[in-house]
């Protein structure tokens, strides 16, 4: 344990200092952010990295890892042997285009929400006191 570590203490990952409350950790990170010494959240890579799938020939474990682009192998998480990268199916693209029926339903919902918001606004305006507390 670091010096000064007590029950309820935490270590700020940004500065590696002991702080004595969760609020202290947030404050410590904020100071580092303001001073420009904290560029990324601790533990995150400095550049965008792909998630690759790997398979270990020794123990047949399959796992995903966030590694540099073009990495062909990495140590297996289960046994420590070299695991080779395998090809995996890409994720299906998000469906941003809606069909005609779905568009109409969404427009109907949006119109109902607009009307409800208008009615709520008018009701709140009627309930609010006038100028100078009338």
65-76: pLDDT as tens digits: 888 888 899 999
pLDDT value of position 108: 94
Which residues, other chains included, contact 67 with Cβ-Cβ below 8 Å and sequence gap of 6+? 49, 50, 52, 74
Q: What is the average per-residue pLDDT within 104-115?
A: 94
How many residues would you count in the chain?
A: 134
When comparing pLDDT for 81 and 42, which is higher?
81
Q: How far apart, in whole angstroms, are the C-alpha atoms of residue 129 and residue 134?
A: 6
The pLDDT, as a whole number, for residue 2 is: 42
N- to C-terminal Cα distance for the chain? 65
Asked if residue 4 has pLDDT above 60, the reply is no
Mean pLDDT of the chain: 74
Taking alpha carbons only, the member of 50, 47, 14, 51 closest to residue 29 is 14
Pairing type for strands 51-56 and 62-66 reads antiparallel
**Which residues, at least 6 apart from 85, have a Cβ–Cβ distance to it below 8 Å?**
52, 53, 54, 71, 72, 73, 74
In this predicted model, which residue has the larger pLDDT, 88 or 127?
127
Is the model's pLDDT at 122 over the cut of 90? Answer: yes
30 versus 125: the higher-pLDDT residue is 125
Sequence spans of domains, the chain: 1-44, 51-86, 100-133
Q: What is the pLDDT of residue 101?
A: 87
pTM for this one?
0.38
């Amino acid at each position: 344990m670091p010096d000064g570590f007590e029950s309820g203490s935490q270590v700020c990952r940004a500065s590696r200092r002991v702080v004595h409350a969760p609020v202290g950790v947030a404050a410590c990170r904020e100071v580092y952010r303001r001073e420009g010494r904290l560029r990324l959240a601790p533990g995150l890579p400095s550049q965008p990295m792909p998630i690759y799938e790997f398979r270990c020939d020794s123990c047949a474990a399959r796992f995903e890892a966030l590694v540099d682009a073009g990495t062909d192998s990495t140590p297996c998480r289960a046994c420590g042997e070299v695991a080779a990268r395998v090809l995996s199916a890409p994720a299906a693209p998000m469906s941003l285009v809606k069909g005609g029926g779905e568009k109409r339903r969404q427009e109907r919902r949006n119109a109902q929400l607009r009307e409800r918001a208008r009615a709520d606004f008018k009701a709140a305006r009627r309930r609010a006191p006038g100028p100078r507390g009338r």
